[in-house]
């Protein structure tokens, strides 16, 4: 059963709007607004709702608009935030919906057992937190967004509830949806190699153009890119593929944001559009000597290089005895799967 304070919205609706307040003596609310940049991520944890809990919360949400303090114009916060949400990605779907992947961090001061998104555009909009989310910790989720136009901004109250303590807090969150034109990139990584100033770039590419993608062209002022043209098997609209590793040579300092323009070209080169992919230059790292192709990991590609140099000298001579032989093969296999650190 829902806490008593969540089933008496009239108490909340009558309360004056202040930076910090109480709802029925136990609920807290604050208003803040966040603009979210896109960036790469790891996996996501799908979430599901509970119908019984949803019906109880819906009535409470009807009074929420009169209770939640509006977001500060231009972004910012008022009072202490109830929760923070950091967008990992917003992926355009062919049916006009979006997949929103984000990390929610509980800052309520209480263990959260349920998260509620006060918008019919979010599915699911009631998310039981299993296991419960202690204050100061975060978890990654993925929900669907429907009925919203590409390029628009949607705002909603986000509630965290502690059913055991019968407490709740509410914050307002706004997200900017992508325009779903040309293309999107996801999970971009820029990994340092054993060669100073040379990095390995990889990313997932989603074609949003009306044509089949046949070629990608990458360029950036003052940056070496090899290969700078990536030929793809015909990639239909809303098709995706992984691109890389691509060698990036730059003198930019670690922590510098590096932006690369990507041209999405049709198979016959007659149609094109352009997007920008920005990544941060990583700190200098130490890579395993057996990473012979400098892509940041010891794998089958390095094994092929070693076997191709068998009986010769060169970089694959890992023990530096003048010849590539079984001893070097043993070193490589011992480093199998190791990455730059």
**Mind listing the pLDDT tens digit for each residue in 257-282?**
999 999 999 999 999 999 999 999 98
Q: Where are the alpha helices (H) located in the chain, listed in sequence order?
A: 9-13, 51-62, 300-308, 326-334
Distance CA 5, CA 330 (A): 66
pLDDT at site 48:
41
Distance CA 213, CA 234 (A): 6
Distance CA 307, CA 316 (A): 9
- The answer to whether the predicted template modeling score (pTM) of the entire model surpasses 0.85 is no
- Sign, Cα dihedral of 305, 311, 313, 316: positive
Burial of 113 (0-12, 13-18, 19+ CB in 10 A): middle
Both tokens of 147, joined, read 């009925």
CATH number for 4-176: choose from 2.60.40, 3.40.50, 2.170.150, 2.30.29. 2.60.40
CATH number for 183-280: choose from 3.50.50.60, 2.60.40.10, 3.30.200.20, 2.60.40.420. 2.60.40.10
333 Cβ neighbours under 8 A, 6+ residues apart? none
pLDDT at site 62:
37
Strands 167-176 and 27-29: parallel
Q: Mean pLDDT of residues grouped by 10 in the chain (341 residues)? A: 30 27 32 31 37 44 37 35 88 95 91 92 92 91 94 92 82 92 94 86 96 96 95 95 94 92 97 96 81 88 94 91 93 92 70
Name the nearest CA neighbour of 38 among 220, 246, 243, 178: 178
Name the nearest CA neighbour of 243 among 258, 234, 230, 259: 230
Is 286-341 a domain of CATH 3.90.1150.10?
no
**Mind listing the pLDDT tens digit for each residue in 156-213?**
999 999 878 777 888 888 999 999 999 999 999 998 887 888 999 999 999 999 999 9
pLDDT at site 202:
95
Portions of the chain given CATH number 2.60.40.10: 183-280
249 Cβ neighbours under 8 A, 6+ residues apart? 197, 198, 199, 223, 224, 225, 226
Instruction: Tell me which DSSP letter residue 299 carries.
Output: S
pLDDT at site 80:
58
Phi, psi of 236 (to 5 degrees): -70, 160
pLDDT at site 146:
95
Name the nearest CA neighbour of 80 among 104, 102, 118, 106: 106
């Amino acid at each position: 059963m829902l806490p008593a304070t969540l089933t008496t919205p009239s108490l909340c609706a009558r309360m004056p709007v202040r930076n910090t307040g109480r709802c029925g003596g136990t609920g807290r609310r604050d208003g803040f607004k966040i603009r979210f940049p896109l960036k790469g991520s790891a996996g996501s944890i799908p979430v599901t709702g509970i119908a019984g809990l949803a019906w109880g919360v819906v009535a409470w949400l009807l009074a929420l608009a009169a209770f939640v303090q509006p977001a500060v114009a231009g972004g910012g916060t008022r009072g202490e935030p109830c929760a923070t949400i950091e967008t990992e990605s917003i992926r355009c779907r062919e049916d006009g919906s979006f997949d929103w992947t984000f990390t929610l961090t509980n800052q309520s001061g209480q263990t959260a057992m349920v998260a509620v998104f006060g918008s019919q555009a979010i599915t699911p909009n009631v998310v039981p937190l299993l296991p419960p989310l202690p204050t100061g910790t975060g978890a990654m989720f993925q929900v669907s967004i429907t009925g919203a136009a590409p390029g628009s901004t949607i705002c909603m109250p986000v509630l965290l509830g502690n059913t055991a303590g019968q407490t709740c807090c509410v914050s307002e969150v706004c997200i900017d949806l992508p325009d779903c034109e040309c293309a999107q990139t996801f999970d971009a990584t820029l990994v340092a190699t054993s060669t100073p100033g040379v990095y390995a770039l990889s990313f997932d590419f989603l074609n949003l153009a009306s044509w089949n993608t046949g070629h990608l062209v990458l360029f950036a002022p003052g940056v070496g890119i090899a290969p700078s043209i990536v030929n793809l098997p015909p990639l239909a609209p809303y098709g995706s593929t992984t691109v890389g590793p691509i060698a990036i040579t730059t003198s930019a300092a670690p922590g510098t944001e590096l932006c690369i323009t990507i041209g999405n070209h049709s198979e016959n080169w007659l149609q094109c559009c352009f997007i920008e992919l920005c990544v941060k230059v990583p700190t200098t790292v130490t890579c395993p000597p057996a990473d012979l192709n400098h892509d940041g990991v010891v794998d089958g590609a390095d094994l092929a290089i070693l076997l191709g140099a068998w009986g010769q000298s060169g970089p694959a001579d890992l023990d530096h005895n003048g010849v590539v032989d079984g001893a070097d093969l043993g070193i490589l296999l011992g480093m199998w799967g190791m990455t730059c650190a």
